[in-house]
Every structure is written in C-alpha cells, then in structure tokens.
C-alpha cells in the first residue's frame, strides 16, 4: 500500500537493490538497514526524493535492529552469506541474526515479516549452509508465526555470483570445470524474486519455493555460459572426490572460488517443489533472455565484434 514503511535488512546487496527499486515503484517508503551506511548511498536515487532512507544496523546488535524497525509496517530480511569468514558464520548470520530480527519485529508489532531462505533448507542436510537456513526458518516461525518465508533457487542477474563466476573462470583458464554435472537447478531472475517479495507482502504464514521457468543440469548451465560468452572453451567434468580435494584448499582463501560446503550443496538438486512463482503473480524470466546482456564483457572481444 502506498506510503507504508518497509525496512529491509541487507537492502544494499545483490537482491536488495533490485527489491528497493520494485518497492519504490509500488509507492512504499523504504528504510535500508545496513552495517555500513556510507557504502549504501547509491540506493537513495532509486526512488523519489526522500522515499528511501538508510539506517545503520548490525544483525548482531539488538539496539540497532530496534532502531531500524521502529515505526515500520513491514520488515524484510535478506541478509545471507555464501561462505563463512571470521566471525561471519552461517549460524550467526542465517540463524541467530534471523532469530533476533524476527523477535524484535514481533515485539514492535509490525504488520508482516518476510524472510529470505533457500531451497534445500533442511535441518538434516550435510551442508552447514542448508542447516543454518533451516534453523533460521524455525526461529522465524517461532518468534513471528505469521512470517512469510521465500525459498528461491539459484538467483541470477547482472551482479550474481554464479554465472559471473563461471564466465570469469572460463576466460581466465580457458576451460570450464563441471562439478556435479547431473545435479538439477532452476535459476530464478533477481527481478522476479523482487516482484515475488513485493507481491507476498500481507500473505501471512506462508512458505513459497520459487524457481525460474526451466530446470537445467549443471552441465547445461555451463553450456549456456559458453554460448553467452562465445568462448567455446572445453567443459571438463570434475569428479566429486577431486572437487572436494580442490575445495579444501580453495576454501582457505579470503574469497574462495568454491568451498567444501558449496560442493555439498551442488550434490543436491535445487528445484522448486511447485509453481509458487506463478501463484505470486510472476511469470518467470528465462536464463537465456538475460545472461547474454551482462556476460558480454567476457566475450573474446568484449561487447564489440570485429567487422569481417
């Protein structure tokens, strides 16, 4: 509803900045809660003058969360990490952070809470990431029973860490490693995720699994990267045991290319159980329609072709 205030934790990230645009277009006032406000100033021009404000908040600090949520109509938690680093652990971010946000939101009496989780969230999963996502969901449900939980598949878009990562690998090493090539994924466009979140405002107590219009194998996704970048590099199957071996060492880097936990995730299919994207009024955008537009700079000649 026009004029209502939505606080977004993690609103300056990959998903957040797209969601801010969608909410602004729908007429909401938006408070972007981030750890470093100076690094999030770029979101302010995404809406009208004064429509978007920035608030300093740390999901480990109750007082800052309370300040960010004050007077909000809705709260959206997008905070997540793909690998652990120092004090940023899966449990602290996905579980404890989600628990604190949902607890404060309930006490504040906001109209609704939307929590972004992930397909594959499972308390019994081999992956720490998936277990922490499940723990976060359970905490949110306990503290705020009417919360809406969104479980997306792999999210793609201009700043994604999936297609961009593999395109960069192909350009750097002139090969594309294929890990768990038969595993299935259902990539969903970041703009569709944002639309689904906006459309789910006011839907109490529901869980939605959302994926794009097509299910691909991991190998098929690597073929799409090859096609979009016109690199045509060899696709090299990597045995699972070798993937774990390499991930052990790569996981020690500050920004690892792949970790053991990510290999565990890749071993499992990442496919929505139903057609929840459509039930939220969103038509899924095909991968093929989007990735050529933002992977063009990985082409041998960039976005330009040499005339023949």
| SS3 of residue 127 by DSSP | coil
CATH architecture for residues 5-146: 3-Layer(aba) Sandwich (3.40)
Nearest-CA neighbor of 36 among 70, 6, 64, 72?
A: 64
Taking each helix axis from N to C end, the angle separating 14-25 and 190-200, rounded to the nearest 10 degrees, works out to 50
In the chain, the N- to C-terminal Cα span, in Å, equals 55
Question: Between residues 247 and 44, which one has the greater pLDDT?
Answer: 44
Write down the pLDDT at residue 110: 97
Which residues touch 153 (CB under 8 Å, ≥6 apart)? 119, 185, 186, 187, 188, 209, 210, 211, 212, 270, 271, 272
**pLDDT above 90: residue 269:** yes
Q: What is the pLDDT of residues 67-122, one digit of tens each?
A: 999 999 999 999 999 999 888 999 999 999 999 999 999 999 999 999 999 999 99
Q: What is the rounded average pLDDT of the residues 266-279?
A: 94
pLDDT value for 308: 43
Query: Which tokens in the block code for residue 183?
Result: 């595993």
203 exposure class (CB count in 10 Å sphere: 0-12, 13-18, 19+): middle
**What integer best gives the mean pLDDT of the chain?**
93
Kindly report, residue by residue over 216-258, the tens digit of the pLDDT.
999 999 999 999 999 899 999 999 989 898 888 877 777 788 8
| Tally: H helices and E strands in the chain | 12, 13
The whole-number pLDDT of residue 303 equals 66
pLDDT of 302 strictly over 90: no
**Contact between residue 137 and residue 101 where contact means Cβ atoms under 8 Å apart:** no
* Encoded tokens for 282: 């969103």
Average pLDDT over residues 252-265: 86
Q: Give me the residue label for tokens 């750890």.
A: 35
- CA-to-CA distance for 66 and 245, rounded, in angstroms? 44
Q: Which 3 state secondary structure label does DSSP give 28?
A: coil
- Under a CB-based contact definition with an 8 Å cutoff, are residues 104 and 62 in contact? yes
**Tens-digit pLDDT profile for residues 194-210:** 999 999 998 889 999 99
* Domain parsing of the chain, residue ranges: 5-146
DSSP string, 181-229: TT-EE--EEHHHHHHHHHHHTT-TT-EEEE--S--EEHHHHHHHHHHHH
What distances in angstroms separate CA 54 from CA 44, 57, 75, one per listed residue?
8, 9, 14
DSSP per-residue string spanning 73-98: SEEEE----SS-BTTB-HIIIIIIIH
Confidence of residue 193 (pLDDT cuts 50, 70, 90): very high
The residues, ordered by sequence, that sit 6+ positions from 116 with a Cβ below 8 Å of its Cβ are 15, 76, 77, 78, 80, 150, 152, 197
Q: Give this prediction's pTM.
A: 0.94
With 0-12 / 13-18 / 19 or more C-beta atoms within 10 angstroms meaning exposed / middle / buried, residue 90 is buried
Q: What six digits make up the tokens of 114?
A: 């939307």
């Amino acid at each position: 509803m026009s004029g209502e205030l939505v606080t977004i934790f993690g609103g300056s990230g990959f998903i957040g900045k797209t969601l801010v645009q969608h909410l602004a277009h729908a007429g909401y006032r938006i408070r972007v809660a981030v750890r470093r406000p100076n690094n999030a100033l770029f979101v302010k021009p995404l809406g009208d003058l004064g429509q978007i404000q920035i608030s300093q908040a740390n999901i480990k600090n109750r007082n800052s969360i309370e300040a960010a949520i004050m007077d909000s109509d809705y709260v959206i938690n997008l905070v997540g990490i793909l690998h652990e680093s120092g004090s940023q652990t899966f449990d602290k971010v996905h579980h404890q952070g989600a628990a604190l946000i949902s607890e404060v939101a309930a006490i504040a009496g906001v109209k609704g809470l939307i929590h972004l989780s992930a397909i594959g969230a499972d308390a019994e999963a081999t992956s720490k990431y998936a277990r922490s996502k499940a723990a976060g969901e359970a905490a949110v449900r306990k503290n705020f029973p009417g919360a809406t939980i969104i479980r997306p598949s792999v999210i793609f878009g201009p700043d994604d860490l999936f297609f961009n990562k593999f395109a960069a690998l192909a350009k750097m090493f002139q090969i594309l490693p294929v890990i768990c090539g038969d595993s299935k994924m259902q990539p969903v466009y970041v703009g569709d995720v944002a639309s689904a979140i906006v459309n789910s405002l006011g839907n109490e107590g529901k869980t939605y699994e959302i994926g794009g219009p097509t299910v691909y194998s991991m190998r098929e996704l690597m073929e799409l990267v090859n096609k979009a970048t016109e690199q045509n590099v060899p696709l090299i199957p990597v045995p699972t045991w070798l993937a774990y071996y390499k991930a052990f060492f790569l996981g020690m880097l500050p920004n690892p290319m792949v970790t053991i936990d990510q290999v565990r995730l890749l071993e499992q299919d990442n496919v929505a159980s139903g057609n929840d994207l459509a039930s939220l009024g969103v038509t899924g955008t095909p991968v093929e329609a989007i990735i050529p537009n933002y992977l063009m700079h990985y082409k041998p000649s960039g976005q330009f072709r040499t005339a023949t």
